[in-house]
Amino acid sequence: MSTPRIWMDGHLVDASAAHTSLLAPALHYGLGVFEGIRSYATPRGPAIFRLEAHMARMARGAEALGMPFNAETCAQACIDTLADSGFGDAYLRPLAFYGQGTLGLDVDRHTTRLMVAALPWQNHLGEAAARGVRAHRSAMQRNTAQAIPPLKLCGGYVNSVLAKRQATLAGFDEALFVDERGFAVEATGENVFLVKDGRVTAVEHPDALPGITRATVMELTGAESRPVTLQELLEADEVFLTGTSAEITPLIALDAHTWRAGAITLDLRRRYLTTVRGAVDLSESWLTRLEPVTA
Ligand code: PMP
């Protein structure tokens, strides 16, 4: 298959024809907001999972940057780009960014551009997603919410990339952020849950991204959400990570400490994977189908 086309400022164009200036403020200062969204092949055609929630979060990021953003336009662009790609299982990447302006730090007169790409299905954790993730406790602190709001702002991901790089150089798959007071925050691209005595708990932290998979898992399980110390995490029976890309992935090690990929995590993973493909009633309201359902 040829490279899928990219939606850029209202049009689907060949990827080779989608350009941006080298002076784009986004390139110099990380001034953009993006989303990572999945679509899944279902028996009734491709469906995008929780598109509205992703658009709402993206809108909050755009607002933080003072950027005009129309969630409906972006949602339709995601739908059109997926339809054009012909993919069923895909990863959708909308990005709104300051594409033109000065190199000053006042963004009021910058031009905003919007793009959407559809990529073949992928899990950024690679092989680790299948066997479970081995994480390194990051020596770095997560961006605090007071420094950069926990939204999908491009520049904020420098923090994730640096922590992940330290972890992979040390031979691990992922990094886990722990704050100065000893509370677990999140991983570089996933939220964290624990299971203790059969109860599922979502790790809550003001500096963590409000994950959409996290919210989905809370609805599926009725899990409580509360702050969790690293010590409590180490004493848990099972720990797992959630994210659009990672879906539900067991965390099987943090440095020398290990957990088992337990039955509750694996069962929940199965439930999640049937939910996203529209196999349970609850999920229909979370799916945006490409074509109107006629049955
Ligand atoms: N935390 C961070 C830092 C992330 O980048 C992601 C991925 N978007 C998540 C958590 C999980 O969020 P979601 O479930 O909405 O994909």
Nearest CA to ligand 1 atom 6: 189
Whether the pLDDT of residue 2 is over 70: the answer is no
Measured in residues, the chain has a length of: 295
Tell me how far apart the terminal alpha carbons of the chain are, to the nearest angstrom.
31
Nearest CA to ligand 1 atom 10: 190
- Could you tell me what percentage of the chain is helix, strand and coil, using 3-state DSSP and rounding each to the nearest 5? 30, 30, 40
Nearest CA to ligand 1 atom 12: 211
pLDDT in tens, 156-202: 999 999 999 999 999 999 999 999 999 999 999 999 999 999 999 99
Compute CA 35 distance to the chain's CA centroid, rounded to the nearest angstrom. Answer: 7
Residues enclosing ligand 1, CB less than 6 A?
Answer: 36, 160, 186, 189-191, 209, 211-214, 242-244
Lowest mean pLDDT among 13-17, 65-69, 91-95, 281-285: 281-285
Using a cut of 0.85, tell me whether the model's pTM lies above it: yes
Residue 1 pLDDT grade (very low, low, confident, very high; cuts 50, 70, 90): low
